[in-house]
Copies of this chain bind each other. A is one copy, B any other.
């Protein structure tokens, strides 16, 4: 794990300076808003997926940096727009973009970053990646962006559905969260000229790991603490999110408790005590154990797919395995 942490730090430095070199212009206020979350920190997990996938495919890490920067920039754009939609006020321990600069500027700052994701990736041409591979990577970035937008829409629609089942949830998180991890793997691999078979395997690993990652995120959103999360506890409940925990609880609680939970869900004026009580209802329903077992299932699928991989760059493959383990077991 130490190797991975050290590598993650090194890579972050490279990716961040690539981003700062690429994303610049005027007016200043727009660029300040656009770069706000990048400056605030973040784990840069998706860049790691890109870089390690490229190395597993036999490529040099340097040719993956434009792709690593692209997915981080795309991810950041989605955070800015999601925070507007979710009315979130804190992210990565800092006020959200729309809280500081207003919704209008936040919309445009997100739009600006969107374009810069492509700008970053296009720079792979300057590093000698053949344009046939660059267009494939651009197509993957585009597929990712389409899929994430569809996932975001599903996330918005689910709370108004009369009954939400696990299949709806998996479809939503596959698109909203896991897809960008999975396409990050594809982007890294194709920049290194990987064959289709390897691209598909890496995609498969990350799709499953990404789903497990999101389930863990749902769990942490209920039982994690504010400092670790970098955002207020119970924000999922406040926003009425259809997390796997809520879906399970709504299905399995008796009528009276179910109605009590529904009264608090998405109720922005509910008190902290009411949220605490709602969380207790969810926990008492057995939702945590269910979510853990579901996460475990996807984690096992990820590991299974992982075990079919081989690479000359064994260091990269080992770190990739550690990364998957981190994603499916993370405490943060």
Q: Does A122 have its Cβ within 8 Å of any Cβ on chain B?
A: yes
Contacts of A141 in B (CB 8 A): 118
Residue A26 lies at the interface, judged by CB distance under 8 Å to chain B: yes
A145 touches B115 (CB 8 A): yes
Q: How far is the CB of A34 from chain B (nearest CB, A)?
A: 9
**Copies of this chain:** 2
Q: How far is the CA of A254 from the CA of B142 in the complex (A)?
A: 53
Closest to A124 in B: B135
B107 contacts A150, C-beta separation under 8 Å = no
Interface-facing stretch out of A151-159, A221-229, A299-307: A151-159
Main secondary structure of the interface of A (DSSP, over half): helix
B107, B135, B138: the one contacting A107 at CB < 8 Å is B107
Per the bound structure, the CA–CA distance linking A150 and B112 in Å amounts to 8
Q: How far is the CB of A154 from chain B (nearest CB, A)?
A: 6
Taking A27-B157, A125-B135, A134-B135 as known contacts, 12 extra A-B pairs with beta carbons closer than 8 A to each other, sorted by chain A number, are A27-B153, A29-B157, A108-B149, A108-B152, A111-B114, A115-B146, A116-B146, A118-B142, A119-B139, A119-B142, A122-B139, A131-B131
